[in-house]
Structure 1
Amino acid sequence: MKTIKLIFYAGLIGLWTTQAFAQALPSAKEIINKVNARNEGPYVTQEFTMELTDRRGKKQLRKTVSYRKDYEGQRKSVLFFSSPTNVKGTGFLTFDYHDADKDDDQWLYLPALRKTRRISAANRGDYFLGTDLTYEDIKKGTKISREDYTFKTLKKEQVDGKQCYLVEAIPVNDKIAKELKHSKVHFYIDPKTWISLKNEYWDISGNPLKTTEIEALVLIDNIWTVQKINAVNHKTGHRSILTFSGSDYKTELEDDLFVEQTLLRGR
């Protein structure tokens, strides 16, 4: 009888421990909602450099300026390359709609061809102009698409001494996985800033694909602002380091900055 009671109480303790652990972790939905609700200001101007390094150690340096403005129901952003000469004048314009049933609009202007190319949803997982970030990465920034994934909170884990929530994201279907060109992502989300400090990606076959890490964050005008991103492709050995500067959240941006004609003018 004592043995039965001991087993019974052990079972209760085990159940209580499991439930307590589960309760200690917020739901993935709650975490992702907080990530996407994070204050980024109504508009921002930023400069950033891209340092691209191939597996042999050969480096390329590119400089850009970017602008972003939020509207009711959508976010518009545009960036322009200022150097080197072979990419100067290249522009990228994005309309990111909050309506999940409406496809986002993206246009890439290539001055060498003197034409604007529309980026379709099927190509959003392609790498952006030789970097290790995709068109989708550039468009979303620190936000995470709720419509593309199913999420699960796995555990707490430290990243650079910060206790983060590890959230697993699986594309909702094969079509989305093919568009994004990965089968799984692990987001390490810092509850202090509600920014994912590290993202790990697996390819369609389930092999490690790439890792992106935020290596510097600062508070500017009470907004947590990314200062440095390090992205490495585990298949190619290629690396991209993005360093941001001059983040301006105070200068209001005109609407005519976010139109296709602006790409042709180069700002």
Structure 2
Amino acid sequence: MKTRFLIGFIAIGLVFPLHSISQTLPSGQSIANKTHTRDEGVSLSRKLTMELKDKRGKIRIRETTSFRKYFGEEKRLVIFYLTPKSVMGTAFLTYDYPDASLDDDQWLYMPALRKTRRISAANRGDYFLGTDLTYEDIKLETRINRDDYTYKTIGKEQVDGHECFVIEGLPKSKEIAKELGYSKTKLWVDATLWMLRKADNWDVAGNYLKTIEIKDIKKIQGIWTYHKIYVKNHKTNHETIFRIDEVDYQTEINDDAFTKEALVNGL
């Protein structure tokens, strides 16, 4: 009898702490929400260099200038392509609305066509101008999509020596999965900074698709800022590296930079 009692006590002792630990982890939805409350400043200007590497090792470099500004809770982001000549003048603009019932507005200006095209919600899972990030990925940056997925917290792990909450997200419908291009996502969110540090994504057929890694996070003018994004597409063996330089949160940006007219007229 004493032996049975001891074994039972040990079993309870082993199980109960694990259960208690799991109860202390924040919910996946609360973690996603937290990434939207992080201080990002009111405005931001930066240089963004994109390095595209195909499966044969051929590398293409694209240089851009990017501006971001908050209008209340609404975030606007614009990217102007500077080099190479083949894409110079291309520009992208997005309005990220806080109201989840509204579709965000996104426009792409292609100088060769002399036309500004609106990116519909159905196309937000398309890849952004030859990179391995989608239009939705570009809009979110290091935030988590808080409206289109059902999340659950599955544990804590370290990424590059930093403690992260690990959450898994499933699209709320097949239609949303098709729009986003993902059937599942696994996310590592810094438990202190509430920034995404890593993401694994699966395509709509359930195949392991790509990995996104956020690197070189440091404070600029008092705000935690990432300086490198590495993306690997496991199906195509294509890679994209985004390098961020000349970050400035203090210089005021004219509201006119975030208009469709600015896309056409350029900087």
Normalising by structure 1, what TM-score? 0.96
Other-structure match for 2:64: 64
Structure 1: segments with no counterpart, 5+ residues: none
Mapped partners of 1:129, 1:15: distance in 2: 50
Mapped partners of 1:19, 1:232: distance in 2: 35
- Aligned-partner SS, 1:194: coil
Q: Deviations for 1:161-201, whole angstroms, at most 9, x for unmatched residues?
A: 22211111111111110000011111111112211111110
Mapped partners of 2:161, 2:144: distance in 1: 23
> Is 2:194 the counterpart of 1:194?
yes
Does the 8 Å CA contact 2:29/2:150 hold for their aligned counterparts? Answer: no
- Post-superposition shift, 1:5? 3.8
Does the 8 Å CA contact 2:48/2:243 hold for their aligned counterparts? Answer: yes
Other-structure match for 1:43: 43
Other-structure match for 1:9: 9
Other-structure match for 1:238: 238
Does the 8 Å CA contact 1:73/1:99 hold for their aligned counterparts? Answer: no
Normalising by structure 2, what TM-score? 0.96
Structure 1 residue runs of 4 or more that deviate by more than 4 Å after TM superposition? none
Q: Which moved more, 1:28-37 or 1:179-188?
A: 28-37
- Post-superposition shift, 1:36? 1.3
- Post-superposition shift, 1:10? 4.4
Mapped partners of 1:8, 1:228: distance in 2: 51
Other-structure match for 1:132: 132
Mapped partners of 1:213, 1:33: distance in 2: 20
Q: Which moved more, 1:250-259 or 1:47-56?
A: 250-259
- Post-superposition shift, 1:203? 0.8
Other-structure match for 1:172: 172
Other-structure match for 1:248: 248
> Is 2:52 the counterpart of 1:52?
yes
- Post-superposition shift, 1:18? 3.2
Other-structure match for 1:85: 85
Mapped partners of 1:11, 1:54: distance in 2: 53
Does the 8 Å CA contact 1:76/1:95 hold for their aligned counterparts? Answer: yes
Mapped partners of 2:9, 2:174: distance in 1: 45
Paired positions, count: 267
Structure 2: segments with no counterpart, 5+ residues: none
RMSD: 1.4
Could you tell me the percent identity over the aligned residues?
50
